[in-house]
Every structure is written in C-alpha cells, then in structure tokens.
A and B are shown apart, each in its own frame.
Chain A
C-alpha cells in the first residue's frame, strides 16, 4: 500500500510537471467536439441527440494521447525499469499510474462538459449524476488503457497500436457511458441510468483487477 502511494505521488508530480501537455490534450478534445458539431450542422435537435456520443468519442480520442504520454516519461530513460529494479512492486506502479491517469481523464471529461453544453446545447440539471458517469466511464478507460499503454510503450508505431488495441476492448464502456450520458441529457423517464452505470462499474472492477494481475508480465522482460 505504501508503494502505491509513493507511485501515485510520483505520477501526480509528473502530471503536474507536464501540465502544458494536459492543456494541449484538452484543446485536442475540445477541437474534436467542435469538428463533430460541424459534421452534424445547425440542427439543434440532432446536436442534442448526438452530444453524449461525441463527448465520449472526444474523450476516448484524447485519452489515447494522455495514456501514451504517461508512459513516454517512463521510457525515455527507462525510469520504470529503474523502479522495478529497486525493487518496487509492479502492481503498485500500475495502480499508481492507473489512478493518476483516471484522475486526469476524469478531469478532462469534466472540462469537456461545458464545451459540449455550449456547442450542442446539451445541458442537464443532474450534474452530479453526469459527473458520476464520467468518473465510472473514465475508470473503465484508464485501467485497460494504462495496461495497453505500458504494453505498446516500447514498440515502434505505438501511437497507432495503442488505439488499435484499446478501442475494441472499451466498446462496452463507450456504449454504456454514451447511453447513460444521453439519458441524463435527454431525460430518463424509465430510470435507466442506474443499470448503465452499474455496467460501467462492473467493467471497471474487472479491468482494474486484471490490470493489477497482468502488469508485471507486461513490463518485465
């Protein structure tokens, strides 16, 4: 547990030092939302209906940049290997990084909500529920994303490989998160948000557990 806190502290510090990059990733996500809105055109109803899907697509695209970046710093001087040789627990290193990535993606998702509201006229009064969906959805992205980012970090062409590996795996997260967000924006007369949120939570639990078990095999020779 102590190693986990040490790893998390290190990753948060690295994120803070790379905050210019985080701003750039946010700008990328915002630009994606803007471009998607152009694709729909000035149809306010269609914009509202598609807002949730575009929010999560923007977040998913931005997440690949953010996740890949988190391992860039580990690999440039083989710092991760240095920690493993100390020896630091691989599991603690994984959870430290995955939690830091989760925090960053949740923050990014929350920051994209006002952009979505402005561009798609897609507001909701259930802001806490929306925040909950973003937290659960980004948990489902960050756990497998951190594992795959580690896996591809030493491979040439990793920028292409990471989304290729990650996107098929997180389709359930995308579906559930879009559905839950859409219900929050467009109305939820049947109370369907909870089952979708439960699906998101279940997916997150499975992948957070698997990530911790598999990380050692991914980063060791």
Chain B
C-alpha cells in the first residue's frame, strides 16, 4: 500500500513559492530521508503532509485518505515532530504527555507516562516544568509526545536537532523500532550520511522543487556529504 502520495503540491507564503509541483510516493513501512538546503521547503512539505498547512495546489493522500477532504482521518494516522515542539512551557513533562494522552484516549496514568519519559531519558525530570528544560530535553520530550500517538505515518522534522550524541543513538534506536513496527517515517535531516545508513529511500528538495526521489543508494552526493557533517556517534 502507498502510505504517502503527493501530486503537483505547491505552497506559497505571500508571493514566494515554498513548494512547487512536488509529487512522489512512499510505500507503507518505508523509512525516508528528506534533505535539501536551508529554505528548500522541507519543513513546509512535512507540514503540508501532516495537514498543519494546506497546499495551494495539488493533492496529498495519506494511506489513501485525502489530506483536505478527510483531514480528521488523516490526523488519526499521522504524527508530526515539527521545528516547534507542540509543548506547553508552563506544564511539567508529565503533564504535557498527560494532556495529549487524554485527547488520544490512551492510558494517561502516571506509570504509563513515566515509561514514555524513561524511553527518551527524561524519567528523572518528569515533574519539572518544560520551561526549565534545555533545547535537547525539549526535543526528547517532543519525540515522546509524537510517539504517544502510535501513528502509522510519522513526519519528523530534524529529529536529531539539539540532541547530544546519546540522543542521536536514541533517535536511531527509535527509527529502527518504528521500522520493525511497520510505521512509515519521513524524516527531514541535514545528517545525510546518517540518513543514508538508516533510510531506504531519499527525497531531495531544491528551492521548493523535488530534484530526487528514489533509493538512498542512488541519491546524488550532496553538499552535506561533501562537507563531511559531524553526526555524533
């Protein structure tokens, strides 16, 4: 089954087109790396796919459901880890997860939520306010919140952002676990070498246009490759 199918997707901010005629398909269960320079449209594309933004032109289908006409159904199937964490700063880590869990109608009891926090290495900071967290800790909590949804399709925008080397390994482990569970993951990242190692397929955006879509082994050498990006352990 096709998990993500887009055709002719375009999106503009004012007069500037952030995405132009983007079309690709991702099979269910695939781990896909989305890369491209800053401002190439990666975040916009993920937000359009996650129904956080509406495309000005084109169609998006997630697991066969139209992202505009069947938005609610699509939202049940997807999870988005965005640039912004979707967290409430004045609440504790546990309370943030509890709010999401109650809306999702999943176990919002302390033991279940603590287990989620342990998973991302925040078990000992469960009752601390998010406003006291470092950027890396917020990213870990945002990951835990995204994983709470048990979504079939995950859009991860820079999941390694702000993380330390153990955090990199944590994300690697989570991605491998998601793959085993059969989830489809579309991950925007500049860590191309890491993406090549973990992902099956790659997408490359350049100034809002999709310039490559295919197996990672066939992906063209990128600037990031050439620069030999430091990618933690």
Give me the interface of A with B, judged by CB distance under 8 Å: 2-3, 6, 9-10, 13-14, 17-18, 73, 76-79, 81-88, 220-221
Contacts and interface: CB of A to CB of B under 8 A. Distances in A.
Nearest to B80: A85
A3 to B, nearest CB: 6
Nearest to A3: B103
A77 B103 contact: no
Contact of A77 (B72, B79, B89, B100): B89
Residue of A73, A87, A88 most packed against chain B (CB within 10 A) = A87
Given A13-B91, A13-B95, A221-B54, A87 B72 contact: yes
B207 interface: no
Contact of B86 (A3, A13, A18, A77): A77
A3 B103 CA distance: 6
A14 B86 contact: no
A85 B90 contact: no
A81 B90 CA distance: 17
A77 B145 CA distance: 13
B95 to A, nearest CB: 7
Interface of B: 50-54, 71-72, 75-76, 78-80, 82, 84-91, 95, 99-100, 102-105, 129, 145, 149
A87 B76 contact: yes
B89 A78 contact: no
Nearest to A83: B103
Contacts of B76: 87
Contact of B91 (A14, A76, A78, A221): A14
A79 B54 contact: no
A77 B91 CA distance: 12
A77 B81 CA distance: 12
A209 B151 CA distance: 33
Contacts of A18: 90
Residue of A6, A84, A88 most packed against chain B (CB within 10 A) = A6
Residue of A6, A14, A78, A86 most packed against chain B (CB within 10 A) = A86
B71 to A, nearest CB: 8
B52 A85 contact: yes
B86 A82 contact: yes
A104 to B, nearest CB: 15
Nearest to A6: B102
B88 A14 contact: yes
Contacts of A83: 86, 99-100, 103
A23 to B, nearest CB: 15
A76 B54 CA distance: 21
A17 B52 contact: no
Given A6-B102, A77-B86, A221-B54, A82 B145 contact: yes
A87 B54 CA distance: 16
A198 B78 CA distance: 46
Given A14-B88, A18-B90, A83-B103, 4 more contacts: A83-B100, A85-B50, A85-B51, A87-B75
Contacts of A77: 84-89
A115 to B, nearest CB: 28
Residue of B51, B76, B145 most packed against chain A (CB within 10 A) = B51
Given A3-B103, A86-B100, A87-B76, A81 B52 contact: yes
Nearest to A86: B103
Given A85-B51, A85-B80, A79 B86 contact: yes
Nearest to B105: A2
A76 B90 CA distance: 11
Contacts of B79: 85
Nearest to A17: B90
A3 B108 CA distance: 14
A73 B88 contact: yes
Contacts of A82: 86-87, 100, 145
Given A73-B90, A77-B84, A85 B78 contact: yes
B149 A86 contact: yes
